Structure 1
Amino acid sequence: MENSPKSNRVLFDLDLLRALLTVADCGSFTAAAARLHSTQSTISQKVRRLEELAGHRLLDRGVRDVRPTDTGETVLGYARRLLALNEELGEALSGAHVATTLRLGVPEDFAGGRTTHLLADFSRRHPRVKLEVSSGLSRALAEGYDRGELDLVLVKQRRGSREALARWPEPMRWIDSAASPAFALDPVPLVAFPPRGLYREDMIDAIEALGRRWRISFTSSSLGGIQAAVADGLGISLLPARTVTSAHVVLGVESGLPEIDSIELAILMRPSADPEVRVLADMLVEMLGQSRG
């Protein structure tokens, strides 16, 4: 009888795989420990044990974040499948149907219209996915994504500031009231989003570069609030071109204000994302591509 070669079979513990997957999704051991209701040292020990079993380093432990190695990406793919199969087996034996939670973050000006129609369509097609949508300022959404609190986000960011699944330029316009212009006032009244907003920083920098005095006359985290305040003559603002209304007038180059071309829309998704996350991401990419094609 011909002898078959002896294979080194390793049985990978699902608990260890779950620890690796959570660290990769959250980008840090601290956030992973919080999500798994464990301690950072315990999660670290589980990942190291998994690396010992695999015989490979699976994570690059940087100063600010943790990223999977090439081998780690391979293991993450299998880990997600194994954990999903384990969940399916449990459901099959119990007869229960456990919903998957998908946490999406979008800017406030994308929280309606075509986006909500798309989300409703996704929910109809994937009834077992529990969709949780949050809207807010892009920096807050990006920070939530980095902490592992969101699975998929559409954000506005500086061009090329970070890796993204897809990105599109976001043309910007300086706007004033068509009925009660405010740009000639001294100091220039500015209608702005709260501190740390991208548009706010660009607006202030540009006004100061002109040597003009300025003041914040109106602050709102709502796009509708910004649009209304400008329309009623409370000040000028900087907004995406797609949000300019008939109640506004665009301030062109003759005003001395610079063209702002540093902003882009970006979709952020982890390489290890669930299939349902990838499906929704693809739908968003298609929608945004069509609207900007």
Structure 2
Amino acid sequence: MLDLTQLRSFVAVEQMGSFTLAAERLGLGQSTVSQHIQRLETSIGRRLLARDTHKVVLTTDGEALLSHARAMLSIEGQVQSLFGGPSLRGKLRLGVSEDFVTSQLPGVLEDFVRSHPSVDLELTVALSGTLYEMQDNGEIDLVLAKRRLGDARGRLVYREPLVWLARDPDHIMSASPLPLIAFPPPSVTRAISLEALGRHQIPWRIVCTCGSLSGLTAAARAGMGVLVQPRSMAPSGLKVIAKGKLPVLEDVEFVLVPRKGADQALVSALSDDILAKVRSLRSG
């Protein structure tokens, strides 16, 4: 019989790509997580994980097991919810900024969804400014997005520097006006970058506008221009433009902003889970 504790460690390692980060997320020692994986592999008789040059990845057998492991853990959560006394119920509308979704959201949300199967979580992905507008209109209960320095709204999750990115920085810096790849308004990163260029009187032109980070990344990887992103969310295939080549950009802050009148039990539970998971990820 498969051990649920071992499966939980297996799923965490797959999500985090690291034994160390998985251990921090689960509140266990790294050696304990390693033992869980070893015992799971022994019980199944197959190798489930392998290391590449950057992180731990699933083998073919690991990929085959993953969906079943998640299903078993989900059933466990449902049973605990059914027989474990009062549980959270209801609907929670979560809005998350586009760039955060592609980098950290899956690992942040999976445990919450599994632990609270009676909560109907509705996800909206958009630009930070758009999410705040939707929340003001009563359409979103909790926003996880960026704010500018000096903005008092929300509960701080972490602060992040913005960087200029390009496929070939030396080539792109020879262009005038500077070709920019940017989200459409209202975009926090767009506003910060244009203000910085304006202060230093650097001519610029927008060569690509897209509401999807995947679209912007494709344009940047094609060498069309410069993209601004939080440092930890820099897409692969792009290089940070060296200091002194372009103006220094102000930091941004990622925050959690609840809507007045939203279900406070649901908002608090998800907010606390997001804070714990994100800070665990970043501390690693």
**TM-score under structure 1 length normalisation:** 0.61
Of the three residues 153, 167, 172, the one matched with 2:162 is 172
Aligned length: 196
Map 1:195-234 → 2, pairs under 5 A: 195-234=185-224
CA contact (8 A) 2:108 2:278 kept: no
Gaps of 5+ in 2: 1-86
Q: Secondary structure at the match of 2:120?
A: strand
The yes-or-no answer on 1:258 pairing with 2:229 is no
Report deviation, 1:213.
2.0
Q: Secondary structure at the match of 1:119?
A: helix
Q: What amino acid is aligned across from residue 163 of structure 2 in structure 1?
A: R
State how far apart, in whole Å, the 2-side matches of 1:179 and 1:253 are.
Answer: 11
State how far apart, in whole Å, the 1-side matches of 2:238 and 2:228 are.
Answer: 11
The yes-or-no answer on 1:287 pairing with 2:269 is no
Question: 1:118 matched to which residue of 2?
Answer: 108
Segment of structure 1 superposing worse, 126-135 or 262-271: 262-271
Gaps of 5+ in 1: 1-96
The yes-or-no answer on 1:267 pairing with 2:268 is no
Report deviation, 1:190.
0.7
CA contact (8 A) 1:176 1:183 kept: no
The yes-or-no answer on 1:127 pairing with 2:117 is yes
State how far apart, in whole Å, the 1-side matches of 2:215 and 2:171 are.
Answer: 17
State how far apart, in whole Å, the 1-side matches of 2:222 and 2:95 are.
Answer: 30
State how far apart, in whole Å, the 1-side matches of 2:233 and 2:157 are.
Answer: 19
Report deviation, 1:178.
2.8
Map 1:1-293 → 2, pairs under 5 A: 100-112=90-102, 114-178=104-168, 181-255=171-245, 257-270=246-259, 273-293=263-283
Q: What amino acid is aligned across from residue 128 of structure 1 in structure 2?
A: S
What are the superposed Cα offsets for residues 79-114 of structure 1, whole Å, 9 maximum, x if unpaired?
A: xxxxxxxxxxxxxxxxxx996111001012222564
| 1:113/1:155 CA distance change after superposition, 3 Å | closer
Segment of structure 1 superposing worse, 245-254 or 219-228: 245-254
- Which protein shows a greater Rg? 1
Report deviation, 1:119.
2.2
Q: Secondary structure at the match of 1:149?
A: coil
CA contact (8 A) 1:183 1:235 kept: no
Q: Secondary structure at the match of 1:252?
A: coil
Q: Secondary structure at the match of 1:182?
A: helix
| 1:292/1:259 CA distance change after superposition, 3 Å | farther
RMSD: 2.4
State how far apart, in whole Å, the 2-side matches of 1:202 and 1:118 are.
Answer: 27
